[in-house]
Amino acid sequence: MSLYPNLHKSADPALRTPRLTVVGAGIGDPELITLRAVRAIGEADVILYDALANDVLLDYARPGAIKLYVGKRRKEKAFEQEEIHELIVNQALTHGHVVRLKGGDPFVFGRGWEEMQYAQAHGLEVAYVPGVSSAVAAAGSAGIAVTLRGVSRSFWTMTATTESGDLNPELAVAAQTDTTVVILMGLHKLSFIVEIWTAAGHPDRAIAIIQDASTPQQQQIIGTIQTIEHLAAKHKNAGPAVIVIGDTVKHVIKALPTQLNHSKLL
């Protein structure tokens, strides 16, 4: 029996309440989505989706649901955050339930909270559905744990840059510690990261770059602070990547791949 037998039964338009559900799509593999997220997509009247959310997930939408791409792909103009806010409110007032489908978890560098706040301030009901975040699962997809008994007691996820585009000053603080550091949106700052860890006295600290985690294109580069730039220069992949720095990177477990070949949903 189906878990959600009424999934695609559309509500009476007269009864539709304008609302927003911000939904985490997971990090790439379409199986890395929650059942609650699948239900929200199936109940949506409008789906606004990003580049990092796997398109295959749109197959869960009911026939007739409106699907609008609001992300940025290479060379395309990005939607301004304010435009997305307005779109959410206008679509909800016109059609009812808007699902905002975002890569990873909407509250990890995802602007999900701001979208919910704007929508609520404009009279919409709001809800949040968590997602599998690259903050943990990108390392895991490469067989690297972010914490490991006897090796690392904590992990720290950070962006490489501040809102104004400057280098995040917290990188220098993290480099003084033994925590596992997971850096998102950091590949273009790799040389600065290397400088910071070298200046902190850790040129031999283990570091990994995991790109397109959980997808068939996944690549991982593993080295030390001293070697990583040289190793990374040989790779030409432009997909999203996280950088993981710390001793747990020395303990890679070789695991069987679990991805199916997803051209369609199960």
Ligand X SMILES: C[S@@+](CC[C@H](N)C(=O)[O-])C[C@H]1O[C@@H](n2cnc3c(N)ncnc32)[C@H](O)[C@@H]1O
Of all residues in this chain, which one has the CB nearest to ligand X in the complex?
104
**Residues 6+ positions from 98 with CB-CB distance below 8 Å:** 18, 19, 20, 21, 44, 45, 46, 47, 48, 88, 91, 92, 124
State yes or no: residue 138 binds ligand X (CB under 6 A): yes
Residues 78-137, interacting with ligand X (CB under 6 A): 103-105, 108-110, 133-135
Q: Annotated catalytic sites, by residue?
A: 50, 72
State yes or no: residue 222 binds ligand X (CB under 6 A): no
State yes or no: residue 213 binds ligand X (CB under 6 A): yes
Q: To which residue do tokens 């679509």 refer? A: 91
Q: What is the H or E stretch that residue 1 is in?
A: none
State yes or no: residue 246 binds ligand X (CB under 6 A): no
State yes or no: residue 240 binds ligand X (CB under 6 A): yes
CA distance 213 to 26: 11
* Nearest one of 161, 215, 250 to 51, comparing CA atoms: 215
Is residue 183 exposed (0-12), middle (13-18) or buried (19+ Cβ within 10 Å)? Answer: buried
Count of residues near ligand X by CB under 6 A:
23
State yes or no: residue 210 binds ligand X (CB under 6 A): yes
- Least distance from ligand X to the Cβ atom of residue 202, Å: 21
Q: Give the interface with ligand X as residue ranges (CB under 6 A).
A: 27-28, 52, 103-105, 108-110, 133-135, 138, 184-185, 210-214, 240-242
